[in-house]
DNA sequence: TCATGTGAAGCTATTCACAGCA
DNA sequence: TGCTGTGAATAGCTTCACATGA
């Protein structure tokens, strides 16, 4: 069956919420409660979960820790993923020190930058290395995921280097043209686009309120 | 007519590309070339533009600077928008110093933080002020857009303060539950979710390559 | 009775196919 | 002929309605 792209993003959101519930000692939850906690319609919560088989009990709801475990299995987060970060500027520092990264199953195993003033300093406990060391770290930790926080001018070059080192899933900040290829998945997050959407939403009265 | 949500994001992308073309002195462009340059299907490029009336000439293409101007008008970027940033940590610094912000029509008019060690220092030429000064700056510059870069624990409080000060479009980093309301549009960007999607995409062979 | 799971219906977005015009 | 603009067809996603089972 074809799983909607957006379902995956929502599963991550449910997982996030389930962790909160578990911390608060809550053992059972209904689709309605998940819906309320995540801002998603309860029908959709059930639909999303049903793509992977039912995890709940009719008339009862879902077992929090079981559902959490199941979603972790679906999203492939039963172990944590090693990632590298290229670019040790302000953004790179912000990314590396984001607690969510670790909490949600990623581990920064390498930070790279060609700015010599940054090299050898540390970021979130990981020593900053020059770019030429990238391939060996990728090989050593079998890294498949790379995050690029360099200025957009340097972006294509870094993406290319990552691909050639065996990294096949790349996240860039700011948009990277011509980046899709058969060698790697490249995704961009761009907060300025989100701002632009907000400006437009404000104009367009017909869709004034999100969700 | 109802404009698809995603169309707006793509318009921003086209605009971005048109700026590049203009800088390179290119005066005319076809939907096919825009498509290639932005990674969007050319039918969709034309469809998106047609929602707002046709800007091109049949058999010829689009005039770059005219199309640029038209899209700027659609997205409401004929003048630049004042924004404030709350949170002057690493992420706040990265956001404020992002050249795209200014290039794409936003101007940071205030940065706020309650960490006293940060107050009175500057970020991208704007003095960091304590939170209590937020309402007066919002009023002075008639700010409608706020960016929140504080740790997620402090998020709801900051969002509330912004709403009460007259800000009605808010961008947060990391997900903010219960944030939607009739008073303001709240959007979240969350790079960890994007990473999670990449991990899943790698698993799901049927949608191995994006775009 | 309550809440899940799921086919069907409805809605949104994209692609197709082609008419219209330089 | 070449490229835009657009209705129609298709694909993708969400909501509805209800059967199913605790």
The band of B181, judged by pLDDT with boundaries at 50, 70 and 90, is: low
- B178 CA from C14 C1′ (Å): 32
- Write down the pLDDT at residue B210: 31
pTM exceeds 0.75:
yes
User: Hey, is the C-beta of A76 within 8 angstroms of any chain B C-beta?
Assistant: yes
Chain A residues touching residue B201 (CB < 8 angstroms): 8, 169, 185
The 10s digit of each residue's pLDDT in B116-157 is 899 888 999 999 999 999 999 999 999 999 999 999 999 999
Q: With beta carbons less than 8 A apart as the criterion, state whether A40 and A16 touch.
A: no
The band of A54, judged by pLDDT with boundaries at 50, 70 and 90, is: confident
- B43 CA from D12 C1′ (Å): 18
In angstroms, the separation between the Cα of residue A163 and the nearest Cα of chain B is 14
Give me the residue from B89, B197, B209 closest to A180, CB to CB. Answer: B209
User: Hey, is the C-beta of A104 within 8 angstroms of any chain B C-beta?
Assistant: yes
The band of A186, judged by pLDDT with boundaries at 50, 70 and 90, is: confident
Longest alpha-carbon distance in chain B: 62
Task: Return the SS3 of A15.
Answer: helix
In angstroms, the separation between the Cα of residue B58 and the nearest Cα of chain A is 27
Answer whether A186 sits within 8 Å of B210, measured CB to CB: yes
Rounded to 5°, angle at Cα A92 from A199 and A117:
130
- Write down the pLDDT at residue A10: 96
User: Hey, is the C-beta of B193 within 8 angstroms of any chain A C-beta?
Assistant: yes
Mean pLDDT, chain B, whole residue set: 91
Distance separating alpha carbons of residues A61 and A30, to the nearest angstrom: 4
Q: Which residue is nearest to nucleotide C17 (CA to C1')?
A: B43
The band of A3, judged by pLDDT with boundaries at 50, 70 and 90, is: confident
- Say which residue the tokens 């999670």 belong to: B196
The 10s digit of each residue's pLDDT in A68-105 is 999 999 999 999 999 999 999 999 999 999 999 999 99
Q: Which residue is nearest to nucleotide C3 (CA to C1')?
A: A59
pLDDT over 50 (residue B52): yes
Answer whether A173 sits within 8 Å of B193, measured CB to CB: no
In angstroms, the separation between the Cα of residue A57 and the nearest Cα of chain B is 26
Chain B residues touching residue A33 (CB < 8 angstroms): none
pLDDT over 50 (residue A21): yes
* Buried-exposed string A56-80: b where 16+ CB fall within 10 A, e elsewhere: beeeebbbbeebbebbbebbebeee
Q: With beta carbons less than 8 A apart as the criterion, state whether A160 and A184 touch.
A: no
Q: Where are the beta strands (DSSP E) in B76-167?
A: 81-86, 106-112, 122-123, 126-129, 145-148
User: Hey, is the C-beta of A80 within 8 angstroms of any chain B C-beta?
Assistant: no
Q: Compute the average pLDDT of residues B157-183.
A: 85
Tokens (6 digits) for A185: 């998945």
Rounded to the nearest 10 degrees, what angle do helices B155-165 and B134-141 cross at? Answer: 40
Instruction: Give phi and psi for B106, each to the nearest 5.
Output: -125, 150
The 10s digit of each residue's pLDDT in B55-82 is 999 999 999 999 999 999 999 999 999 9
User: Hey, is the C-beta of A154 within 8 angstroms of any chain B C-beta?
Assistant: no
Q: Which residue is nearest to nucleotide D16 (CA to C1')?
A: A43
User: Hey, is the C-beta of B180 within 8 angstroms of any chain A C-beta?
Assistant: yes
- B55 CA from D1 C1′ (Å): 21
- Say which residue the tokens 């933080």 belong to: B113
In angstroms, the separation between the Cα of residue B180 and the nearest Cα of chain A is 7
**Strand C proximal to B47 Cβ, under 7 A:** yes
User: Hey, is the C-beta of A93 within 8 angstroms of any chain B C-beta?
Assistant: yes
Tokens (6 digits) for B58: 């049949």
- Write down the pLDDT at residue B170: 94
- Write down the pLDDT at residue A181: 65
Give me the residue from B174, B189, B201 closest to A189, CB to CB. Answer: B189
């Amino acid at each position: 069956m074809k799983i909607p792209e957006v379902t995956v993003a929502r599963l991550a959101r449910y997982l996030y919420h389930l962790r909160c519930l578990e911390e608060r000692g809550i053992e059972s939850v209904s689709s309605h409660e998940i819906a309320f906690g995540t801002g998603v319609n309860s029908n959709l919560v059930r639909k999303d979960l049903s793509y992977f088989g039912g995890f709940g009990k009719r008339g009862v709801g879902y077992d929090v820790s079981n559902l959490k475990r199941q979603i972790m299995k679906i999203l492939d987060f039963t172990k944590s993923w090693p990632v590298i970060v290229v670019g040790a500027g302000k953004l790179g520092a912000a990314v590396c020190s984001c607690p969510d990264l670790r909490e949600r199953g990623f581990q920064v195993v390498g930070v790279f930058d060609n700015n010599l003033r940054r090299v050898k300093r540390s970021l979130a406990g990981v020593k900053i290395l020059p770019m030429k060391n990238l391939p060996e770290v990728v090989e050593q930790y079998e890294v498949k995921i790379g995050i690029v926080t360099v200025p957009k001018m340097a972006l294509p070059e870094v993406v290319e280097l990552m691909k050639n080192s065996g990294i096949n899933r790349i996240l860039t900040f700011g948009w990277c043209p011509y980046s899709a290829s058969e060698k790697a998945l490249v995704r961009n997050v761009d907060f300025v686009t989100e701002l632009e959407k907000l400006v437009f939403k404000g104009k367009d009265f017909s869709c004034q309120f999100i969700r």
